[in-house]
C-alpha cells in the first residue's frame, strides 16, 4: 500500500505556461493555493501583457498534459520564473511530469537543473 505523506501546503507548487504579446512563451511556478498575478508576470518577463496558454495547446508545446506540467523536461526551454516565497522553504514539491506524481527538491537543486528566476508573482 502506498504511503500517504502530509505536506505543508506552502511547499506545493504548480507550473503555469503563458504567452506574451511578443508570442514568446514563459513558465511560472507558484504555490498551488495562489493565483498568478498576470501584471506581475508580464513585468517579470518584460512583456506588456501576458495570457495563459490554452489547455489544448499545452501538450504540443511542452510535452505535458494539463495537471501534470513540470518546469523540468519540457520539449523546449522557456524563460522560467518562480514565486519568491520559494526562498523561504527548505524544499518545494513540483510535478514530476505525470498527473499524481511529484518530486520534492530544494530551490538550489531546481536551479541546478533549469535556469529559473525568483520574482514576486502572486
Report how far residue 122's alpha carbon sits from residue 64's, in angstroms, rounded to the nearest whole number: 23
- pLDDT at position 57 over 90: yes
Q: Is residue 105 part of a domain?
A: yes
> What pLDDT sits at residue 5?
66
Taking residues 14-33, what's their average pLDDT? 97
- pLDDT at position 64 over 70: yes
Q: Is residue 40 part of a domain?
A: yes
> What pLDDT sits at residue 4?
67
* Overall number of domains in the chain: 1
Q: Is residue 35 part of a domain?
A: yes
- pLDDT at position 1 over 70: no
Q: Is residue 1 part of a domain?
A: no
Report how far residue 51's alpha carbon sits from residue 39's, in angstroms, rounded to the nearest whole number: 10
Q: Is residue 30 part of a domain?
A: yes
CATH number of the domain enclosing 74: 3.90.960.10
Complete DSSP assignment for 10-59: GGBEEEEEEEETTS-EEEEEEETTS---HHHHHHHHT-S-EEEPPHHHHH
Amino acid at each position: 500500500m502506498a504511503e500517504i505523506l502530509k505536506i505543508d501546503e506552502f511547499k506545493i507548487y504548480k507550473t503555469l505556461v503563458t504567452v506574451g504579446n511578443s508570442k514568446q512563451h514563459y513558465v511560472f511556478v507558484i504555490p498551488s493555493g495562489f493565483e498568478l498575478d498576470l501584471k506581475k508576470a508580464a513585468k517579470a518577463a518584460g512583456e506588456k501583457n501576458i495570457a495563459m496558454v490554452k489547455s489544448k495547446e499545452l501538450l504540443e508545446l511542452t510535452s505535458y498534459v494539463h495537471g501534470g506540467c513540470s518546469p523540468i523536461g519540457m520539449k523546449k526551454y522557456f524563460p522560467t520564473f518562480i514565486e519568491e516565497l520559494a526562498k523561504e522553504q527548505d524544499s518545494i514539491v513540483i510535478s514530476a511530469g505525470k498527473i499524481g506524481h511529484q518530486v520534492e527538491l530544494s530551490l538550489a537543486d531546481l536551479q541546478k537543473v533549469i535556469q529559473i528566476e525568483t520574482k514576486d508573482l502572486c
